[in-house]
Structure 1
Amino acid sequence: MGEGTFGRVLECWDRETREYVAIKVVRSIRKYRDAAMMEIDVLNRLGRYDRYESHCVQIRRWFDYRNHICIVFEKLGPSLYDFLKRNKYYPFPLELVREFGRQLLESVAYMHELHLIHTDLKPENILLVSSEYIKVPSCKKNSQDEMHFKCLPKSSAIKLIDFGSTAFDNQDHSSIVSTRHYRAPEIILGLGWSYPCDIWSVGCILVELCSGEALFQTHENLEHLAMMERVLGPLPEHMIRKASSSALKYFRRGTRLNWPEGAVSRESIRAVRKLDRLKDLVSRHVSHSSGSLADLIHGLLRFEPSERLTAREALNHPFFKVPT
């Protein structure tokens, strides 16, 4: 069903329960085994306190087979990323973005209340519960002669997966976490991180779901910071002043980003220049409720971690209070 550095995920038939399950088979290498045992600990904790629907994947059981840790999960559908990709990166309709956002924030709020930080939130780690979809005509421009179709999931139910990088708030934190596109500024600046790094990732994910493409498509720190400034305005001076010595090289004359002077290529400068301000970016893809969605995302993508909305606060945002 999928493959990663950790190993692979297989679709299997459980002969006892007579149902299909997904089994994550972890490579027999010490660090991956250790991470798998930590993931099992987190999954059991999430399951133990699950008083209501947390939208986190359920562990069925686990076993050790020839030095491979095997974790048995309920079988789910494709990830939101896979769905976007198969759908030629057509964005999801606003109503679906709203439903996905609500469930994602509920799962993050639940984790944070258990003092857990996911640290790797991204569309690849959010799975549709069902694989079923419907085809609808799309109103794509320049298709006078032939009808274009896009796919929509039949159900908006999602579940969060991959707790292999999950950290307890009180444990030592590694300096780099999160997949690049969803990485918060405090991580790049070496300022340490906590719950708000998950919130930043949620903000990036919501933009991607309503636009069809990742907000910060970059593989390099200086370009990443330049993209952030382009979309959200200048980085706060107090954060730059506290930045780690290794991050200070991205700045000149104290607190000005060394951009475009420090760019590695002309393509890099162009990639930053083509980005819009957040409000314009959202309104380009969302016709109605764009102001409300942009306001929510602004609250999630505050540079200063302590100023970001918490998951619970975000759930009370007007964007989710739609008249029925």
Structure 2
Amino acid sequence: MQQYQRQSIVSNGPTPPNLSRKRKRAMEVSWSEVQEQDTSGVYRDYIIIEDTPPPTMSSATSVNGGYSASYQPPHYSAPIRTRARAAAEAQAISSGSSSSTILGPPAKKRKREQEEVRARPTKKATVASHHALVPTSTKKPAVTQAVAASTDATKGASCDDKEGHYIIVPDDIIKDRYRTVRLLGQGTFGKVVEAVDTRTNTRVAIKIIRAVQKYRDASKIEVRVLQRLKERDPMNRNKCVHLTDWFDHKAHICLVTELLGICVYDFLKDNDFAPFPRHHIQSFARQLLGSVAFLHELKLVHTDLKPENILLVNNAYNTIPIPQPQTGKRVVPPKQKRILASTDIRLIDFGSATFETEYHSTVVSTRHYRAPEIILGLGWSYPCDAYSLGCILVEFYTGTALFQTHDNQEHLAMMEAVMTKMPAPFARLGARAKPEYFTKDGKLQWPSAKATRQSKKDVKATKSLAQIIQPTDRINVQFLNLVSRLLAFDPAQRITVKEALNHPYFTMSIPEEI
């Protein structure tokens, strides 16, 4: 593996993120259903999530290490709603009549990308409580006959809404064992609830898959992956979420996992997108690289690494006052910054994980963390995970996503602004696969004919990696080198996650800071 080389850069000091274009991640999502022919020539239905949004619910962070959830449920007063009443209210809402049912916030749509993308039907809602949520389709899916016939015999009402989602009722008993507490989130593929395991008196998270056959089939792929991970790492030294139980409940596949804290993106958002301290970044990087190296040893590619899929084990934090610059005679109070008490994390959401020897869909990864070879349609493998990790580490350092765009050509132009021009051999491959993005001499065509004024301004304002991570001390020099090798354009030149674990950056002792 050849090392990615960078020019030496001299800087007078650290520069904060460019505040003029600090945009919070888009809060919309676009998804569609397409058909794609697999390697055996059979046409299959695929669900495409073009950009997965960050969590849309406010988080409640605990400082005492207790359980918490990004969605705080409504307060239910006596009498508690029965499933029959909940089903009737859901039906009333769908028909436009008024109802007193309290629902979670509606999912928001994101601007559709200008591309037809295809992916496996395994991109699902989280296996834990704080994963990014995706909206449901506006079209009514074909529910299986088993679901259509599924009823609550004791209460005389269906346990599903018209979209095949399980209707969540407090204190409902699932599989004669799990007592529901509250809804944690809802996505295209199902709902996640907090529940109490009545046998062990412990709290768990249960992902309840929609009672639609294609989603049931997709969930079984994730079960297979999660079982493999637990079988090969029973002590969970590699920090991937563990499946503790799974079963079929009234035509709904249910996946039970430990109940964890909020996702790393939620913590950043609640902390006003303040960057993590450098010693915390080193801890996160070591754990994430170890988790992904474990997946790669098992011939698995995660394909959807992002802060929303990294959960904190404990939400506890300390609050530190940060003095603010004074404006004239006005006294500006200090800003409060949260510092995690523990950096222990778990990697989640293996719904899109792909075995290297099995079918690879054309497009994978959430837009902000998508590798250039995927955008250019050159195929992908383990290096796409390394690229996503590079984007994540930069986000930890600055507090905001490195690439904030929804257009392929603009995305590639921003990549060149961050990492300099594409290597000529890689550009030639890209020009053959996507000639519309390149000039006749094989260079990225930017600005393109369709580029807007704002798009041009955004690309021009994009800083180079050395301007973002200024090499002002030994720690930043090594961190910059590690990230630049993870973000190499050519996947053949990109450092592997196993090699990255042996990078000199991880031999350094980084003092505690805020």
**TM-score where L is the length of structure 1:** 0.95
Give, in whole Å, the separation in 2 of the partners of 1:158 and 1:170: 29
Contact 1:191 1:244 in 2 (8 A): no
Give, in whole Å, the separation in 2 of the partners of 1:309 and 1:101: 14
1:96 to 280, 299, 307: 280
Contact 2:395 2:401 in 1 (8 A): yes
Q: Mean alpha-carbon deviation: is it higher for 16-25 or for 263-272? A: 263-272
Which residue in the other structure is 1:283 paired with? Answer: 470
Which residue in the other structure is 2:400 paired with? Answer: 213
Residues 175 and 15 (structure 1 numbering): CA distance in 2 closer, same or farther, change over 3 Å?
Answer: same
In the TM superposition, what whole-angstrom CA distance separates every residue of 1:229-274 from its partner, at most 9, and x where no partner exists?
0100111222232237662211112312111133531111111111
Counting only pairs closer than 5 Å after superposition, residues 1-324 of structure 1 correspond to structure 2 as 1-50=184-233, 53-142=237-326, 144-243=331-430, 247-283=434-470, 289-323=475-509
Which residue in the other structure is 2:150 paired with? Answer: none
Give, in whole Å, the separation in 1 of the partners of 2:289 and 2:424: 30
Aligned residues: 323
In the TM superposition, what whole-angstrom CA distance separates every residue of 1:28-69 from its partner, at most 9, and x where no partner exists?
223322221111100000000116501100111011122221
Q: Mean alpha-carbon deviation: is it higher for 127-136 or for 197-206? A: 127-136
Contact 1:251 1:258 in 2 (8 A): yes
Q: Mean alpha-carbon deviation: is it higher for 287-296 or for 250-259? A: 287-296
**TM-score where L is the length of structure 2:** 0.61
Q: Give the aligned residue type for 2:245.
A: R
Residues 207 and 263 (structure 1 numbering): CA distance in 2 closer, same or farther, change over 3 Å?
Answer: farther
Q: Give the aligned residue type for 1:238.
A: P
Give, in whole Å, the separation in 2 of the partners of 1:262 and 1:55: 46
Q: Mean alpha-carbon deviation: is it higher for 83-92 or for 46-55? A: 46-55
Give, in whole Å, the separation in 1 of the partners of 2:401 and 2:449: 23
Give, in whole Å, the separation in 2 of the partners of 1:6 and 1:121: 19
* SS of corresponding position for 1:243: helix
> CA RMSD, aligned part only?
1.8
Give, in whole Å, the separation in 2 of the partners of 1:255 and 1:121: 31
In the TM superposition, what whole-angstrom CA distance separates every residue of 1:61-101 from its partner, at most 9, and x where no partner exists?
01112222110000110100010011110010101110001
- How far residue 8 of structure 1 moved from its aligned partner, in angstroms, is 2.1
Which residue in the other structure is 2:24 paired with? Answer: none
Give, in whole Å, the separation in 2 of the partners of 1:262 and 1:212: 32
Residues 8 and 246 (structure 1 numbering): CA distance in 2 closer, same or farther, change over 3 Å?
Answer: farther
Give, in whole Å, the separation in 2 of the partners of 1:254 and 1:189: 17
Give, in whole Å, the separation in 2 of the partners of 1:319 and 1:121: 21
Give, in whole Å, the separation in 1 of the partners of 2:436 and 2:337: 45
Instruction: Choose 1 or 2 for highest CA Rg.
Output: 2
Give, in whole Å, the separation in 2 of the partners of 1:244 and 1:173: 22
- How far residue 132 of structure 1 moved from its aligned partner, in angstroms, is 1.5
Residues 37 and 257 (structure 1 numbering): CA distance in 2 closer, same or farther, change over 3 Å?
Answer: same
- How far residue 145 of structure 1 moved from its aligned partner, in angstroms, is 2.5
Contact 1:222 1:263 in 2 (8 A): no
Give, in whole Å, the separation in 1 of the partners of 2:509 and 2:395: 25
* SS of corresponding position for 2:492: helix
Contact 1:279 1:291 in 2 (8 A): no
- How far residue 287 of structure 1 moved from its aligned partner, in angstroms, is 6.7
In the TM superposition, what whole-angstrom CA distance separates every residue of 1:193-234 from its partner, at most 9, and x where no partner exists?
000000000000000001000001111100000000010011
Contact 2:438 2:445 in 1 (8 A): yes
The runs of 5 or more residues in structure 2 that have no matched partner are 1-183
- How far residue 288 of structure 1 moved from its aligned partner, in angstroms, is 6.3
Q: Mean alpha-carbon deviation: is it higher for 234-243 or for 9-18? A: 234-243
Q: Give the aligned residue type for 2:343.
A: S
